[in-house]
Amino acid sequence: MTEIQPPKPKENKMGVMPIPKLLLDMSIPMIISMMVQALYNVVDSIFVARINEHALTAVSLAFPIQSFMIGVGVGTGVGVNAFLSKSLGEKNFAVVNKSARNGLFLAWVSCAAFMAFGLAGSEAFFAFQTDIGEITGYGRDYLSVICGLSFGMFSQIMLERLLISTGKTFYAMISQSAGAVTNIILDPIMIFGLLGCPAMGVTGAAAATVIGQTVGASLALYFNIRHNPEICLSLRGFRPDAVIIKRIYAVGLPSILMASLGSFMTYGLNRLLLSFTSTAVAVFGVYFKLQSFVFLPIFGLNNAMVPIIAYNYGAKKKERVMQTIRLSAMCAVGIMLIGAAAFQLFPKELLAQFNAAPDMLAIGVPALRIISIHFLFAGFCIVSLSVFQALGNGQESLIVAASRQLLLLLPIAYLLSLSGKVNAIWWSFPITEVATLALCAFFSKRVYDRKMKAI
């Protein structure tokens, strides 16, 4: 009697769909969600700026911690993303499920660490940077809520990464967009006390953010349970797996360290700018909010690109990997060119959205024009770092990031500050990016020779 064989699992679209269509299919939802994310980041600061410039400066000084939190969540997610998608390409479904469950566990451990900092260290963080009591008070109120109620943020990031890992980018877009829209709606209500809500100021901005993140996390959980059959999230009998966690962090830890470097760079620049004027810190904070409209779409593209590369690398489909890299790099460079043009042509109009006073415009207009020069080189670099991670070479990403933000940008900014002109500091960005471009090109060749030639 012939034994009936179980049906073979259906091939995931990441292994069969034509690459241009696949990249478009997976990246468009992520780019849209990232644009919504950028909008909510900017709207948040626009409303805070209506309180006063000290409130905007406080939120700007909080940015390194927020950036680090996001970096820890996204970095862990990148590790899960690459490992899970590779296991999916290898048809190793037991490891796929273990990766997802351990990823959620790591997200919640990270949340507990930042909750402790939010409750115990927020005020000291701001007091160390400035002796202006109003800025310290605003910052403490804002950061204690953002960190202390970060469960939604860490859960949302990881659950959306699980959707992305299996190609369900549309659902990730819906959950992220829902969280961002919730925040945009609640911001004016909770900051200024509309519709019967008490006026909460910067605390209201933070509360609106964490509520939005919780909404996004809830939707992402629902989508994983109902529409992501390739992953089982049941935690019954779960035990942390040291081997799985090690492999997740082999790729994810460099991303986390890169985020910490970025946070350290921002913190260092804020301290440097404060030696001139707190207005320069506000300008730098506004720049970071505005540049998110340029960089976040590329991060959305990368979110789609990483699982495609990891899946096809695991399935040993070399041409699909290379075609994905080429198309992603072209798109990233195109987005950067558009962003650079906007910053060059409309800096005053962009700053006006943040209630910029004349002294803020005097610093901000040249700042936006000078810093945006580095956009011309950054597109290729950003894609390169994600390619390294997707292929399991996170150490190359870490080396590039460390060189860029510790060995180059901060020292160059310090040297330029010795001129006594705050606008000279902004030139550190384009100078650093040219050197980073050369380093990325070198590592791209090395990773190709070591990983792709053998396929």
Distance CA 333, CA 429 (A): 17
**What phi and psi, each to the nearest 5 degrees, are found at residue 239?**
-135, 135
Distance CA 121, CA 61 (A): 14
Instruction: Give the per-residue pLDDT at 398.
Output: 77
Residues 371-417: tens digit of each pLDDT: 999 999 999 998 998 888 788 777 788 788 888 888 899 999 999 99
Interval 13-36 mean pLDDT? 81
Instruction: Give the per-residue pLDDT at 314.
Output: 82
Least trusted range by pLDDT, from 162-171, 250-259, 307-316, 420-429: 250-259
Query: Percent of the chain having pLDDT more than 90?
Result: 42
Tokens of 160: 């959306």
Residue 37 near residue 292 (C-beta atoms within 8 A): yes
Instruction: Give the per-residue pLDDT at 9.
Output: 53
How far does CA 225 lie from the centroid of its chain? Answer: 25
3-state DSSP helix/strand/coil percent for the chain, to nearest 5? 85, 0, 15
Domain ranges in the chain? Answer: 16-452
Angstrom distances, CA of residue 243 to CA of 105, 107, 316: 14, 17, 24
Distance CA 187, CA 235 (A): 35
Please determine, for residue 445, whether its predicted confidence score (pLDDT) is greater than 70: yes
Tokens of 189: 């209500």
Return the closest-CA partner of residue 139 out of 13, 267, 312: 267
Return the closest-CA partner of residue 288 out of 25, 67, 442, 54: 67
Interval 284-303 mean pLDDT? 87
Tokens of 263: 């946070």
- pTM for the full predicted model: 0.74
Least trusted range by pLDDT, from 26-35, 150-159, 435-444: 26-35
- Longest CA span, the chain: 88
Residues 97-141: tens digit of each pLDDT: 888 889 899 999 999 999 999 888 888 888 888 888 899 999 999
Please determine, for residue 5, whether its predicted confidence score (pLDDT) is greater than 60: no
Distance CA 44, CA 367 (A): 21
Distance CA 353, CA 138 (A): 21
Instruction: Give the per-residue pLDDT at 100.
Output: 87
Please determine, for residue 257, whether its predicted confidence score (pLDDT) is greater than 80: no
Tokens of 272: 């440097």
Distance CA 360, CA 352 (A): 10
Which are the contacts of 21, defined by CB distance < 8 A and separation ≥ 6? none
Measured CA angle at 161 (ends 324, 216), to 5 deg = 130
Q: What DSSP designation does 13 have? A: G
With left for phi above 0 and alpha for psi between -120 and 50, is residue 239 left, alpha or beta?
Answer: beta
pLDDT band, residue 6 (cuts 50/70/90): very low
Instruction: Give the per-residue pLDDT at 53.
Output: 86
Calculate the average pLDDT of the chain. Answer: 87
pLDDT band, residue 287 (cuts 50/70/90): very high
Distance CA 184, CA 150 (A): 18
| Sequence letter at residue 78 | V
Residues 413-428: tens digit of each pLDDT: 999 999 999 999 999 9
Which are the contacts of 345, defined by CB distance < 8 A and separation ≥ 6? none
Which are the contacts of 128, defined by CB distance < 8 A and separation ≥ 6? none
Beta strands, E only, 300-373: none
Instruction: Give the per-residue pLDDT at 388.
Output: 87
CA dihedral 256, 257, 259, 264 (to 10 degrees): 150
| Sequence letter at residue 90 | E
| Helices (H), ranges, 50-90 | 53-89
Query: Percent of the chain having pLDDT more than 70?
Result: 97
Distance CA 231, CA 81 (A): 12
N-terminal to C-terminal alpha carbon distance within the chain: 41
Please determine, for residue 293, whether its predicted confidence score (pLDDT) is greater than 60: yes
Please determine, for residue 89, whether its predicted confidence score (pLDDT) is greater than 50: yes
Tokens of 86: 């590779």
pLDDT band, residue 10 (cuts 50/70/90): low
pLDDT band, residue 144 (cuts 50/70/90): very high
Residues 210-256: tens digit of each pLDDT: 999 999 999 999 999 998 888 888 878 788 888 888 888 887 887 78
Please determine, for residue 3, whether its predicted confidence score (pLDDT) is greater than 80: no
pLDDT band, residue 2 (cuts 50/70/90): very low
